[in-house]
Amino acid sequence: MIFRARIKIKMEYPIRINKYLAQVGQATRRGADLLIERKKVLVNGRLAKLGDFVQRGDRVEIKEVKDEKKVELVYFAYHKPRGEETSQISVSRISPEKIFPIGRLDKDSSGLLILTNDGRITERLLGPDHKHEKEYLVEVDKPVNGFMLKRMELGVKIEGYKTKKCQVLKIGPRNFKIILTEGKKHQIRRMCAAVGLQVRNLRRIRIMNIKLEDLKPGAFCKIVGKEKDELLKSLKLPF
């Protein structure tokens, strides 16, 4: 199988070979490394090595792999409790596959994370150019007013960067929903600080079509059926 770097996926070249194969949908990064170690990947006719880079226009080829077990791609919704570090989630209790979280939530936040072994979705879900929705419930330290919320909707300056327009809906004296299409570090906390508010509680309740709903803190469920199909379709991946 041969894949050329001219496919219609936005990439910055040079790009590491494992990341390239993940972005063109041929393997996860871990899976790509395994293929390279087993001498199954060629770049311009030469056996690829771990850490190699692909240049624009390079010919990348994967040798046919016969009689080998295909790893099942799995997807889980997980409710990260407040106080748990994203990097310390015990994934072995969720799946025997080597799954990992897509993105993160800071220690003081809770809510929805997607866990998977499908490295293809990382850039397609988190990349700023894709504008996929993520929805949060926010509780702050003082009453909010329309002026504060409108400022956040239109974008506020955080350390020299102006946030993109978003949707904000007041649902209580000190509570609101916010829907973002970007994910700067501690973005909601910094946006609130820009209008004189401090976050007391922050919970992510939706990533694209995947909803937290009544999933309890620390619990998980497998994403399957139409829900999985819709997620992959939105990410322009086969399902």
Q: What are residue 60's phi and psi, to 5 degrees? A: -110, 130
Take residue 150 and report the two structure tokens written for it.
């409108």
In the block, residue with structure tokens 């041969």: 2
Q: How far are the Cα atoms of 90, 115, 173, 180 from residue 191, in angstroms, in the given order?
A: 31, 27, 18, 11
Cα separation, 52 vs 38, in Å, equals 15
Max alpha carbon distance in the chain (Å)?
A: 64
Q: Is 52 a catalytic residue?
A: no
Residue 31 exposure: Cα atoms within 13 Å on the Cβ side = 23
Q: Which of 52, 106, 118, 141 is catalytic?
A: 106
In the block, residue with structure tokens 């949707």: 167
Cα separation, 239 vs 232, in Å, equals 6
In the block, residue with structure tokens 């199988």: 1
In the block, residue with structure tokens 């016969």: 66
In the block, residue with structure tokens 């350390």: 159
Cα separation, 15 vs 43, in Å, equals 12
Asked if 155 and 162 count as a contact pair (C-beta separation under 8 A), the reply is yes
Active site positions, annotated: 106
